[in-house]
Amino acid sequence: MGNECTYCGSNIERHDPVFVNVGANTSTNQAGQFCNYACLATHIEEEGLTDGAACEWPC
């Protein structure tokens, strides 16, 4: 995996990168990397990752 935002393809090193892991917090489970939280949030919405899990997020 390079240093491109999973969502928009921008170079994350030029921003404030956000890394996402699935399951255990290890690099081998990395699910994505985003140049900012806006890309992260949009990606999650478009992938439907919040389906059935809305109540697991702090309200």
**Binding site residues, Zn ion, CB under 5 A:** 5, 7-8, 10, 35, 39
Alpha carbons 12 and 52: distance in angstroms, whole number: 29
Q: How far is the CB of 40 from Zn ion (least distance, A)?
A: 8
Beta carbon nearer to Zn ion, 8 or 20: 8
- Going by C-alpha positions, the residue among 6, 4, 32 that lies closest to residue 19 is 32
Alpha carbons 40 and 6: distance in angstroms, whole number: 8
Beta carbon nearer to Zn ion, 10 or 30: 10
Beta carbon nearer to Zn ion, 32 or 35: 35
